[in-house]
């Protein structure tokens, strides 16, 4: 099969796994938050650190407990805003209790009057991941473009967020797919070894 066909098959399998995991354990986000906070020092989480998360949709892992925990620790928490097809995401500041607006693709986003944030840590939703740090989303490429843009500016840690059940033995990846640095699930927070594509080939 082609790379596109491989990705389509992976998305179908991963979506089924995610939906089943959500149905079995809708409160897994609380345990994920605990795992992340336990690894705060290793991740570089601390007061004043800019961190992006996301507002969960449908069966996505709920990171709102984590967002509140990060805000309590003095982090500058932000949410992604879609600026248009083919463009990187921008991130705007979020605070507990903030009223969000409905954005593109049904995303919940901070108002445009909120300040933009350049995150040093990106908690990214996904459909599937593997132990090489490969990630696959819905196919729009927003996070790949965004991570590439952020990494061109300086160091940034990309942390995939998922249910443990969303792990696949191998996730199909192309040259422009941005690898993860970490994975966070309800069971573990693990740093990946240096990704093979980072050793010299283009990303």
pLDDT in tens, 71-115: 999 999 999 999 888 789 999 999 999 999 988 777 899 999 999
Whether the per-residue pLDDT at 141 is higher than 90: the answer is no
Question: pTM for the whole thing?
Answer: 0.91
Residue 107: burial class (beta carbons within 10 Å; 0-12, 13-18, 19+): middle
The contacts found for 136-140 with CB under 8 angstroms, 24 or more apart, are 136/7, 136/10, 136/11, 136/14, 136/171, 136/172, 136/173, 136/177, 138/11, 139/7, 139/11, 140/85
The whole-angstrom separation of Cα 182 and Cα 161 is: 9
Q: What is the mean pLDDT of the chain?
A: 90
For 84-147, give the DSSP string: STTS--EEEE--TTPPPEE-GGG-EE--TTSPB---SEEEEE-SEE-TT--EE-SSS-HHHHHH
Which residues, in sequence order, are CB contacts of 198 under 8 Å at separation 6+?
Answer: 179
As a whole number, mean pLDDT of residues 31-51 equals: 97
CATH of domain 3-189: 3.40.50.10420
Structural domain boundaries of the chain? 3-189
pLDDT tens-digit readout, 174-199: 778 899 999 999 999 999 975 544 43
The whole-angstrom separation of Cα 69 and Cα 38 is: 11
Q: At what angle do helices 64-72 and 28-38 cross, to 10 degrees?
A: 40
pLDDT for 198 equals: 47
Per the CB < 8 A criterion, the answer to whether 47 and 61 are in contact is: no
Report the percentage of the chain scoring pLDDT > 70.
94
Q: CA-based Rg of the chain, rounded to a whole angstrom?
A: 16
pLDDT for 194 equals: 57
DSSP state of 55: -
pLDDT for 177 equals: 86
What's CA 64's distance to the chain center, in Å? 13
The values of phi and psi at residue 115, to 5°, are -70, 145
């Amino acid at each position: 099969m082609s790379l596109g066909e491989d990705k389509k098959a992976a998305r179908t399998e991963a979506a089924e796994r995610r939906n089943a995991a959500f149905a079995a354990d809708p409160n897994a986000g609380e345990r994920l938050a605990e795992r992340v906070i336990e690894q705060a020092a290793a991740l570089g989480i601390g007061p004043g650190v800019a961190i992006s998360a996301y507002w969960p949709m449908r069966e996505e892992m709920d990171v709102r407990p984590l967002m509140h925990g990060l805000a309590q620790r003095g982090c500058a928490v932000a949410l992604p805003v879609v600026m248009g097809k083919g463009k990187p995401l921008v991130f705007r500041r979020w605070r507990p209790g903030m009223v969000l607006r409905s954005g593109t693709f049904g995303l919940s986003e901070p108002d445009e009057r909120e300040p933009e944030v350049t995150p040093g840590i990106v908690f990214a939703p996904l459909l599937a991941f593997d132990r090489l740090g490969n990630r696959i989303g819905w196919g729009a490429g927003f996070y790949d473009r965004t991570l590439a843009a952020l990494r061109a500016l300086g160091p940034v840690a990309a942390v995939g967020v998922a249910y443990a059940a969303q792990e696949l033995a191998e996730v199909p990846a192309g040259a422009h797919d941005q690898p993860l640095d970490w994975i966070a699930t309800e069971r573990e927070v693990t740093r990946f070894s240096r990704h093979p594509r980072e050793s010299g080939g283009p990303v």
